[in-house]
């Protein structure tokens, strides 16, 4: 379950081209630390960063599922498949 103490990555001010590297490093690090739920803050603005985040998560083998936070659509919650290791 995602909580306020779950690890988060804040992408505010980042370029979409850099986001892929940051997201994959963040996911891989948290997979190794066996954190089951993490958050990626991308903001609500134009939706470009949201789309990039979802593209990267879709292709990451450690991601079980992801969804927009129900009360904050500027945050994507990621469920990692830590049982796979």
Residue 83, pLDDT score: 86
Residue 84, pLDDT score: 59
59: which 2 tokens? Answer: 């292709």
- The mean pLDDT value of the chain amounts to 95
Provide the whole-model pTM: 0.93
CB 19 within 8 A of CB 53: yes
8: which 2 tokens? Answer: 């988060």
Three-state DSSP at 9 gives strand
Reported as type and span, the H/E element at residue 26 is helix 16-32
Closest CA to 20 of 47, 58, 72: 58
Summarize pLDDT for 32-57 with one digit per residue, the tens: 999 999 999 999 988 999 999 999 99
């Amino acid at each position: 379950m995602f909580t306020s103490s779950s690890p988060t990555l804040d992408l505010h001010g980042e370029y979409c081209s850099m986001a892929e590297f940051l997201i994959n490093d963040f996911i891989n690090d948290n997979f190794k630390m066996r954190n089951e739920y993490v958050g990626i803050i991308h903001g609500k603005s134009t939706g470009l960063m949201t789309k990039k985040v979802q593209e990267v998560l879709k292709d990451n083998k450690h991601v079980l599922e992801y969804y927009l936070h129900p009360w904050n659509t500027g945050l994507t919650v990621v469920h990692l498949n830590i049982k796979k290791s």
